Structure 1
Amino acid sequence: MIQQSPIQRPRAKSRRGTAIVEFAVCLPLLALLVFGTIEAASRIFLKQTLSISAYEAARQAIRVGSTTENSKASGDSILTARKVKGSQIVFSPADITNASRGELISVSVSAPTRDNSQVLGKFIADKTITATVVMVKE
């Protein structure tokens, strides 16, 4: 059995201490990176959900004989299925029932980021994300 010299033993202990300090410095950065990535993905998901909801509401709104209530319900069904909170759907013109053929119908869907955040909503500034779709009435 080969014995280690007394000079090598203290180095192993000091290296262990260095590793602990490096871990303590890197852990907050790693946690920030992980939670930031989750929050960014959550905002991308929210923006995509709002876009899909606006598209579905506009698609319903341009049909012949469609009402504002039917179109709003079509958009709300997407938002409800994806559990979006605090959303608002706005039509232009406000009453699409009397819109004539060829008229532009605009649908805007918006939601606050704080209410729909997965992790860091209380720590990041609240913003409202909006998606707008414009289609021609049939």
Structure 2
Amino acid sequence: MSPESSRKRPSRKRNRQAAAIVELAVCLPVLVLLAMATVEACSVLYLKQSLKIASYESTRVGLVPTARAENVTAQADLILGGRNIKDYTVSLTPADPRSMEQGDFFRVEVVADCGANSFVGGWFYTGKTVRQATEMVAE
């Protein structure tokens, strides 16, 4: 027997396992980042839709002739609280809905911070805000 034939060859199975480990080490962080970015984007879309619903429903409340500003903000609080939205502000134009006359525009704008409402910590949208407004004519 020659000395070269007595050496053990590395097994093909072992080489394949090593290649799989390297592929996992390269691809796993990319896949995790992609999954987190997808969850974060969906979280912002949920936030945007929640603000739109709150602004629309609050505007409808403000168009009632006896409505007060407290009624409008309470409607927004009710909707956004039910959807676990945090760190938001509601602004009305005009500030007192009772001052409107027929044909006047009433606007409700809701603004929320993306980072405070993030599902995975707000890494992608830190410092960003979402703003939704609805404007309707008093009848």
TM norm structure 1 = 0.90
Please tell me whether the aligned partners of residues 37 and 124 of structure 2 are also in contact (alpha carbons under 8 angstroms): no
CA distance in 2, matches of 1:128, 1:28: 28
Going from structure 1 to structure 2, the CA distance change for 1:36 and 1:122 (only over 3 Å counts) comes to: closer
Correspondence 1:81 to 2:73: no
CA shift, 1:124, in A, is 4.0
CA distance in 2, matches of 1:78, 1:39: 21
What is the one-letter code of the residue matched to 1:88? Answer: T
Please tell me whether the aligned partners of residues 61 and 105 of structure 1 are also in contact (alpha carbons under 8 angstroms): yes
Task: Give 2:51's aligned residue.
Answer: 50
CA distance in 1, matches of 2:28, 2:43: 23
Please tell me whether the aligned partners of residues 92 and 106 of structure 2 are also in contact (alpha carbons under 8 angstroms): yes
Task: Return structure 1 stretches of 4+ with deviation > 4 angstroms.
Answer: 6-9
CA shift, 1:116, in A, is 0.5
CA distance in 1, matches of 2:90, 2:40: 24
What is the one-letter code of the residue matched to 1:17? Answer: A
Q: Deviations over 1:40-73 (max 9, x none)?
A: 1100000000000000100001112111111111
What is the one-letter code of the residue matched to 2:72? Answer: S
What is the one-letter code of the residue matched to 1:106? Answer: R
Gaps spanning 5+ residues in structure 2: where? 1-6
CA RMSD of aligned residues (A): 1.7
CA distance in 2, matches of 1:133, 1:46: 16
TM norm structure 2 = 0.89
Q: Deviations over 1:54-100 (max 9, x none)?
A: 00100001112111111111111001111111110000111111111
Please tell me whether the aligned partners of residues 35 and 120 of structure 1 are also in contact (alpha carbons under 8 angstroms): no
What is the one-letter code of the residue matched to 1:86? Answer: D
**Other structure's SS at 1:115 match:** helix
CA distance in 2, matches of 1:84, 1:44: 12
CA shift, 1:9, in A, is 6.0
CA distance in 2, matches of 1:91, 1:11: 71
CA distance in 2, matches of 1:64, 1:124: 40
Task: Give 1:67's aligned residue.
Answer: 68
Correspondence 1:103 to 2:104: yes
- Which deviates further from its counterpart, 124-133 or 17-26? 124-133
